[in-house]
């Protein structure tokens, strides 16, 4: 990684006028002096200082409305700052508003030449790259049809193909606009990886903790237009998630804690690395930016509540208090990879039931069933449970999940009539997160404890 700066931001601020009524815009335009204001200001960014070196991959995280997209647009030049300076050294390609420069009356081929020209390519370069762009978009003969006839999927595939094949020195990616089917998304990220590996600088916005940890050398946390923290991806992501799931009445306090701890980390970094620039936390040199020892253990984070819970109508039993806990009984929802935990809940019976058994399921954010278990086979349930009894259900498991967020479901089954049926079922009733692990080699959802080997044949 080169120490030469690809992007330098100093004192950057951006304010937008907010008008209460449409005609106030006209009144503002004809107002005689600066004191006559018909709008209020929304401060999207406040005094941002940032240095990004050549070849560095930097992740930007933050809650919705924190100023991430505004920062990207300012760096790309599609917005002008209200105050401060931005210096960009190198050809920049941005995946922000895909297809924003397309003319709907032009064919796909014509729009490739138009858009690539806007991104800085000469005509000869576009001709040389056209076949590669068309192959990446993979829209067949539609390349010679007007884009107004395209489906939304075809439109963004072509726009992404143009932007991704510009061979930029700086690539700016807003993950919120990742579109298309799974195969196309994988192809896009593979190309982004290739661009990064070629030595380009990558500025990456994402809501995915595992993606930031995997992809980035460094991360920054924005919130309410302020740069609250920067450092290693694991350090920044842990602060971001703490803020993301904070109860409303504690957000201000947690923001201040993050700001103070980041200032301490920055001070320690400057003491340990004399070549570090003022105000910049070194991701590689400062051990103080790593999470404290107690933060590496499982803990309970207030505010992490599933918003996708579905509760089935009960038929004589009610599931109560589903949660995760440590082996010594402490309630947790942020887990350490490799640790052993218990998924526990109670079942209150409102009627007598026969052949009773219970189950659990862990699902990914996209709803994929990652794994689950039942307390017995269909033939091995508890023969009879009387009304008024309480069942204590426990599923002990080792957390072999790779970092990310997951959802827990619970169910109670019993024999009614001639078949087994759900008596109560709650989907996505609890949410938990697995901490990032910087040294992990596992991929996918589950760590299979694979022992990799690689040797050079004689």
* Contact present, 228 and 255 (Cβ < 8 Å): yes
Stretch 439-445: mean pLDDT, rounded?
81
* Contact present, 283 and 231 (Cβ < 8 Å): yes
Percent of the chain clearing pLDDT 90 (strictly above): 38
Q: How confident is the model at residue 279 (pLDDT cuts 50, 70, 90)?
A: very low
pLDDT computed for residue 235 by the predictor: 83
Q: Name the token pair of 237.
A: 């992501």
Is the pLDDT reported for residue 120 higher than 70? yes
Q: How confident is the model at residue 180 (pLDDT cuts 50, 70, 90)?
A: low
Query: Counting beta carbons within 10 angstroms of the beta carbon of residue 342, is it exposed (0 to 12), middle (13 to 18) or buried (19 or more)?
Result: middle
| CA atoms 302, 303, 309, 315: torsion sign | positive
Q: Which fold has domain 5-91+168-295?
A: Rossmann fold (3.40.50)
Q: Rounded distance, CA 147 to CA 165, Å?
A: 19
Q: Please identify which residue in the block is written with the tokens 């990684």.
A: 1
Q: Rounded distance, CA 324 to CA 322, Å?
A: 7
* Contact present, 188 and 160 (Cβ < 8 Å): yes
**Residue bearing the bigger pLDDT, 180 or 237:** 237
26-59 tens-digit pLDDT: 777 777 666 667 777 888 899 999 999 998 999 9
pLDDT computed for residue 407 by the predictor: 92
Q: Mean pLDDT lowest for which of 165-179, 202-216, 379-393?
A: 165-179
Stretch 54-72: mean pLDDT, rounded?
90
Q: Looking at residue 193, what DSSP letter applies?
A: H
Q: Looking at residue 328, what DSSP letter applies?
A: T
Is the pLDDT reported for residue 271 higher than 60? no
Q: Mean pLDDT lowest for which of 21-25, 387-391, 395-399, 433-437?
A: 21-25
Stretch 413-438: mean pLDDT, rounded?
89
Is the pLDDT reported for residue 390 higher than 50? yes
Domain boundaries in the chain? 5-91+168-295, 310-434
Q: Mean pLDDT lowest for which of 58-67, 91-100, 186-195?
A: 91-100
Q: Please identify which residue in the block is written with the tokens 């700066």.
A: 5
Q: Please identify which residue in the block is written with the tokens 């409303």.
A: 248
249: Cβ–Cβ under 8 A, 6 or more apart, which residues? none
Stretch 225-246: mean pLDDT, rounded?
85
Domain 310-434 in this protein, CATH class: mainly beta
**Residue bearing the bigger pLDDT, 76 or 353:** 353
Cα Rg for the chain, rounded, in angstroms? 27
Is the pLDDT reported for residue 100 higher than 80? no
Stretch 352-357: mean pLDDT, rounded?
95
Is the pLDDT reported for residue 337 higher than 80? yes
Q: Taking each helix axis as running N to C, give the angle between helix 233-244 and helix 251-272, from 0 to 180 degrees, rounded to the nearest 10.
A: 170
Is the pLDDT reported for residue 220 higher than 70? yes
Start-to-end CA distance of the chain, whole Å, equals: 32
Q: Compute the mean pLDDT over every residue in the chain, rounded to the nearest whole number.
A: 83
Q: Mean pLDDT lowest for which of 52-61, 153-162, 428-437?
A: 153-162
Which of 309, 334, 338, 312 is CA-nearest to residue 324?
334
Q: Looking at residue 272, what DSSP letter applies?
A: H
361-388 tens-digit pLDDT: 999 887 788 999 999 999 899 999 999 9
Q: Mean pLDDT lowest for which of 238-242, 274-278, 322-326?
A: 274-278
Q: Rounded distance, CA 326 to CA 341, Å?
A: 5
Q: Where are the beta strands (DSSP E) in 141-255?
A: 170-174, 201-205, 218-223, 226-231
CB atoms near residue 413 (< 10 Å): 23
What is the CA angle 134-135-137, rounded to 5? 65
Is the pLDDT reported for residue 426 higher than 90? yes
């Amino acid at each position: 990684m080169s120490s030469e700066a690809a992007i330098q931001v100093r004192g950057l601020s951006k304010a937008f006028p907010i008008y209460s009524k449409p005609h106030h815009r006209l009144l503002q335009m004809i107002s005689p002096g600066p004191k006559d204001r018909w709008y209020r200001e929304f401060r999207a960014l406040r005094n941002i200082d940032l240095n990004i070196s050549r070849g560095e991959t930097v992740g930007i995280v933050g809650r919705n409305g924190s100023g991430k997209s505004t920062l990207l647009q300012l760096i790309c030049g599609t917005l002008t700052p209200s105050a401060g300076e931005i210096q960009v050294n190198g050809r920049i390609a941005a995946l922000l508003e895909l297809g924003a420069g397309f003319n709907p009356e032009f064919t796909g081929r014509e729009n490739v030449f138009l858009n690539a020209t806007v991104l800085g390519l000469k005509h000869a370069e576009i001709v040389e790259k056209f076949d590669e762009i068309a192959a990446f978009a993979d829209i067949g003969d539609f390349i010679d049809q007007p884009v107004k006839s395209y489906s939304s999927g075809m439109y963004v595939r072509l726009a992404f193909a143009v932007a991704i094949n510009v061979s930029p020195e700086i690539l700016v990616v807003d993950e919120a606009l990742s579109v298309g089917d799974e195969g196309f998304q994988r192809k896009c990220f593979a190309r982004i990886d290739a661009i990064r590996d070629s030595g380009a600088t990558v500025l990456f916005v994402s809501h995915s903790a595992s993606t930031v940890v995997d992809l980035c050398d460094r991360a920054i946390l924005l919130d309410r237009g302020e740069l609250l923290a920067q450092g290693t991806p694991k350090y920044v992501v842990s602060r971001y998630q703490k803020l993301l799931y904070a109860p409303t009445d504690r957000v201000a306090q947690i923001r201040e804690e993050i700001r103070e701890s980041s200032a301490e980390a920055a001070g320690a970094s400057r003491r340990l690395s004399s070549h570090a620039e003022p105000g910049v936390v070194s991701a590689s040199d400062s051990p103080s930016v790593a999470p404290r020892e107690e933060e590496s253990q499982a803990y309970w984070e207030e505010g992490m509540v599933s918003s996708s819970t579905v509760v089935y109508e009960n038929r004589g039993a009610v599931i109560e208090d589903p949660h995760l806990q440590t082996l010594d009984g402490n309630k947790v929802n942020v887990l350490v990879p490799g640790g052993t935990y218990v998924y526990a809940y109670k079942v209150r019976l409102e009627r007598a039931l026969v052949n009773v058994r219970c189950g659990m399921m862990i699902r990914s954010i996209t709803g994929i069933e990652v794994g689950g278990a039942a307390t017995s086979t269909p033939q091995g349930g508890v023969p009879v449970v009387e009304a008024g009894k309480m069942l204590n259900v426990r599923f002990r498991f080792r957390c072999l999940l790779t970092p990310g967020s997951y959802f827990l479901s619970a169910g109670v089954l019993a024999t009614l009539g001639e078949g087994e049926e759900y008596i109560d079922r709650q989907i996505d009733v609890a949410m938990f997160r697995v901490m990032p692990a910087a040294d992990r080699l596992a991929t996918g959802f589950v760590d299979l404890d694979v022992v990799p080997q690689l040797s050079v044949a004689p």
